[in-house]
Chains A and B, each alone.
Chain A
Amino acid sequence: MEKMHIQSTATTPRIDFNPETGEFEISGKSLPENSYDFFQPLHDFVEKYSVQPAPQTHLIFKLEYFNTSSTSHFLKLMKRLERVSEKGSNASVTWYYDSDDDDMRDAGEDFKLLSRLPIEIIATSFGDNTN
């Protein structure tokens, strides 16, 4: 299975999904004009990956901004990875947030309430490295 890489834009995040290592990273700004069109390929990728997942699957978020329609898709990705866990892959999530951004931290806490995956919430300093 090929890796998925999507370069970031002013409104869409950078996507780096590696099916060999199980590292799936979403970073930057997630404000897609049409969230379905942007995220459906990611859902399809994870669905295909889940047939034969890596021993470890790690979904990483490093976001500066996101809109609420992106939130729905983030949760959907996590729920798909819950099924990957059920197939024996050790799946987890790391939610990075800028240390000054309480709202981003709170969003991570919300996902902890809604997903069965272990979710680690880590404060960091993004600087200019989110895109």
Chain B
Amino acid sequence: MRSSRLVMSYTGPLNGELITACLQLVHARLELSPLSVKRKKNIVNILIECLQNMQYHHAQNLLTEADLNECCVLMFLNKNSVLLECGNYVSVNQANQFSTRLRELNEMPAEDLHRRYLDTLDSGALSDQGGAGLGIMRMIKEAGHPITYSQEPVNNQCTFFWLHIKVPLAEKDYAMAESVAS
């Protein structure tokens, strides 16, 4: 148990107010820790993109159950990292598109990823949700580590899509970060 501590968890729908509440909770927990400001900012920046990504991309109108808009967010403190697990229901098409993009971006060297980010930003292209895929690039950059994913199929149209995001902690950060989960 000591090797992995749950710092924050949320299950439910997402809207602006609930995202704000999640961010405030994480911010407050992190403020209690002597993690570096840079690491705290990294974590919050990643969480912002994760939560808003889930808010915009979910399996609307595919099934009738009320919990289709539900998402799950978990933050763990492990020995050398913070782990952020974010999942929600998406369509199979959304999952395929997202996983294809993730695989491509994960394989890019940092410089190429940065160039792609700048080119996308400069192009002025925006998705319906206003992001143009910049959020994924930012998450990978902020994490400094490839983002993995997994899926739990629900039916032919819908799947529960998980992002597994690891933010490495330096040894100095870890020694101080123990206090976050205590």
Interface residues of A (CB under 8 A from B): 10-11, 31, 33-36, 65, 67-69, 71-72, 75-76, 98, 100-104, 110, 113-114
The answer to whether B49 touches A67, judged by C-beta atoms less than 8 angstroms apart, is yes
Tell me whether chain B's interface is mostly helix, strand or loop, or mixed. Answer: helix
Question: In the complex, what distance in Å separates the CA atom of A68 from the CA atom of B20?
Answer: 16
Question: In the complex, what distance in Å separates the CA atom of A68 from the CA atom of B120?
Answer: 11
Instruction: Kindly provide the distance from the CB of A42 to the nearest chain B CB, expressed in whole angstroms.
Output: 14
| B109 on the A face (CB < 8 A) | no
Question: In the complex, what distance in Å separates the CA atom of A69 from the CA atom of B56?
Answer: 12
Q: Which of A68, A98, A103 contacts B49 (CB 8 A)?
A: A68
The 7 tightest CB contacts between A and B, nearest first, are A68-B134, A100-B37, A69-B130, A33-B16, A35-B130, A10-B20, A68-B135
The answer to whether B124 touches A101, judged by C-beta atoms less than 8 angstroms apart, is no
Instruction: Encode B46-61 as 1/0 by CB contact (under 8 A) with A.
Output: 0011001001000000
Q: Which chain B positions have C-beta within 8 A of A35?
A: 130
Known: A10-B20, A31-B48, A75-B122. A69 touches B131 (CB 8 A): yes
Instruction: Kindly provide the distance from the CB of A34 to the nearest chain B CB, expressed in whole angstroms.
Output: 7
Q: Which of B19, B23, B118 contacts A113 (CB 8 A)?
A: B118
Q: Which chain A positions have C-beta within 8 A of B15?
A: 33
CB-nearest residue of chain B to A35 = B130
Known: A67-B135, A113-B118. A36 touches B130 (CB 8 A): yes
| B70 on the A face (CB < 8 A) | no
Instruction: Encode B27-41 as 1/0 by CB contact (under 8 A) with A.
Output: 000000000111001
Instruction: Kindly provide the distance from the CB of B138 to the nearest chain A CB, expressed in whole angstroms.
Output: 5
The answer to whether B41 touches A103, judged by C-beta atoms less than 8 angstroms apart, is yes
Q: Which chain A positions have C-beta within 8 A of B132?
A: 68, 72
Known: A67-B135, A103-B142. A34 touches B38 (CB 8 A): no
CB-nearest residue of chain A to B40 = A100
Q: Which of A36, A65, A98 contacts B48 (CB 8 A)?
A: A65
Question: In the complex, what distance in Å separates the CA atom of A38 from the CA atom of B132?
Answer: 17
